[in-house]
A and B are shown apart, each in its own frame.
Chain A
């Protein structure tokens, strides 16, 4: 035993010290100072698109997509090996097995939203579902109903479908939202006309995270007997969703927002009272004639398992995500002032935190936050130069809209990641504010809005 100890001490003293020798050469380098500290093993840094980062960034962008849950991955693997039959083949075992798998997934999805499995239609994602509903409902009722009501903060696919309808001759009312992001119910009531064919309001906004008053909107639509469509891609599995309580006639769901696979989604189409819909994809009449085409069995199975998991883990995840959100918000607010939360803080899904930092330029903030994978509501993430239309609909000033950052917290986020994100954000914002003459003026008490900028 003693000899073992001696040998191990000898071995320890002979091996190189960890890390120290490697990075000692770096502090003399005159390369451009980036916001990141030098990490041990910097030779293995990732260089992509002209940016050098020492490792994979923290993933805080859960609203754009979520990583695949290992339990979903496990179920999909088994399915892709064995369930390769066409679920619509009625004549042999392979078809029957695949069909069984799809039906099991259908029941899992239906249970999550409180619907019957016969009312679920699988398709390629929430975008396809939104397109199918908006265009399909209006095309079906085009003789009697010519008007659609939606909000200004909807997802691009809904707004684009409405614009397509406008080009065909329909009329669309884009309801403005209040400064906290919620729809004004009186304005909704006033804009309803006798020829209104559809009301479309998303349940949880993907940019600012506010939860709309779904039950009230559903009640108004029921009074006036108008079909109510909601894009619940960000809502299912995160807030309790019930199609009966909300009185929705159509719902769009997406797989990759609830730790499921990409390329699959579902559409809920109410059967009682029956709402009719013209399909977007014509063909063999699969999925009740509403979406023809062979189903991707393994994707559908993955989506089903993701929905079942979401139902089981909703409470646990909600507690964890709320805790992390408070930690993030308090951590940033303790060290920085001029931090504004975009959208209502009360009626909000905890995993989406959209913050604007005053007196800081948005693109330079994002450039410095390369070690945190976040999204922003500003121009550099979109092809055009204008700031996000959602923030503009909230009435946020242009300069604040440019500096908005959306932190997405999810099931797999850890406390250490949140602490690190807080540290990196605070450091970058402080650095930019120190360099900013505008911030100096504000600290001296000058009101920026009343400055007369001289013209040369």
Chain B
């Protein structure tokens, strides 16, 4: 049985992992998709559906953590224009 605390912890870990992605577009997408993904499943009451969504979220967390490791192993040499501070 998945409880509310576990779901919140999963959301927080996904957001924290996504924040480390070096590419601007993918980082923003990870943040938005995590929020929207949890928001869309907010009102699920059926236990099996909740379990399924939680398992899916855990799988995505593993994917993000693996991907972050590989992306950081090849750091980008230039910054995206959106990341530079404008003067």
- A residues engaging B (CB < 8 A)? 18-20, 23, 37-41, 44, 46, 53-59, 67, 70-71, 73-74, 77, 316, 371, 411-414, 416-417, 420
Contact = CB atoms under 8 A, between A and B. Distances in A.
A316 B36 contact: yes
Contact of B84 (A41, A67, A70, A74): A41
B87 A37 contact: yes
B84 A54 contact: yes
Interface of B: 21, 23-26, 28-29, 33, 36, 60, 63-64, 66-67, 70-71, 76, 78-87
Given A411-B29, A413-B25, A74 B82 contact: no
Given A70-B67, A413-B25, A55 B81 contact: yes
Contacts of B71: 70
Contacts of A46: 78
A37 B85 CA distance: 11
B82 A417 contact: yes
Contacts of A316: 33, 36
Contact of A40 (B23, B29, B81, B87): B87
Given A40-B84, A44-B78, A77-B70, 8 more contacts: A37-B86, A39-B84, A53-B81, A67-B25, A74-B63, A77-B66, A371-B81, A416-B82
Contacts of A74: 63, 66-67
A55 B85 contact: no
B25 A414 contact: yes
B81 A54 contact: yes
A39 B87 contact: yes
A369 to B, nearest CB: 12
A125 to B, nearest CB: 24
Contacts of B87: 19-20, 23, 37-40
Contacts, number: 78
A412 B36 contact: no
A57 B82 CA distance: 8
A70 B26 contact: yes
Given A19-B87, A70-B67, A74-B63, A412 B29 contact: yes
A55 B29 contact: no
Given A55-B79, A316-B36, A414 B28 contact: yes
Contacts of B64: 70
A386 to B, nearest CB: 32
Contacts of A417: 25, 82
B78 A39 contact: no
B86 A412 contact: no
A58 B82 CA distance: 7
A46 B87 CA distance: 18
A316 B34 CA distance: 12
Contacts of A71: 60, 63, 67
Contacts of B33: 316
A59 B24 CA distance: 11
Nearest to B37: A316
Contact of B28 (A19, A55, A70, A412): A412
B48 to A, nearest CB: 19
Contacts of B24: 414
B33 to A, nearest CB: 8
A344 B78 CA distance: 38
User: For B60, B85, B87, which residue has the most chain A Cβ atoms within 10 angstroms?
Assistant: B87
Nearest to B36: A316
Contacts of A56: 76, 78-81
A317 to B, nearest CB: 10
For the complex of A and B, the 6 pairs showing the least CB-CB separation, nearest first, are A412-B25, A55-B81, A70-B67, A39-B84, A56-B80, A414-B28
User: For A46, A73, A412, which residue has the most chain B Cβ atoms within 10 angstroms?
Assistant: A412
A87 to B, nearest CB: 24
B78 A55 contact: yes
A416 B71 CA distance: 23
Contacts of A37: 86-87
Contacts of B60: 71
Contacts of B25: 59, 67, 412-414, 417
Contacts of A40: 84-87
User: For B36, B60, B80, which residue has the most chain A Cβ atoms within 10 angstroms?
Assistant: B80
A371 to B, nearest CB: 5
Given A70-B63, A73-B67, A316-B36, A39 B80 contact: no
User: For B71, B81, B84, which residue has the most chain A Cβ atoms within 10 angstroms?
Assistant: B81
Contacts of A73: 67, 70
Contacts of B83: 55
A18 to B, nearest CB: 7
Nearest to A319: B36
Contacts of A420: 81-82
Contacts of A371: 81
A19 B85 contact: yes
9 contacts: A39-B84, A39-B86, A55-B81, A58-B81, A74-B67, A316-B33, A414-B24, A420-B81, A420-B82
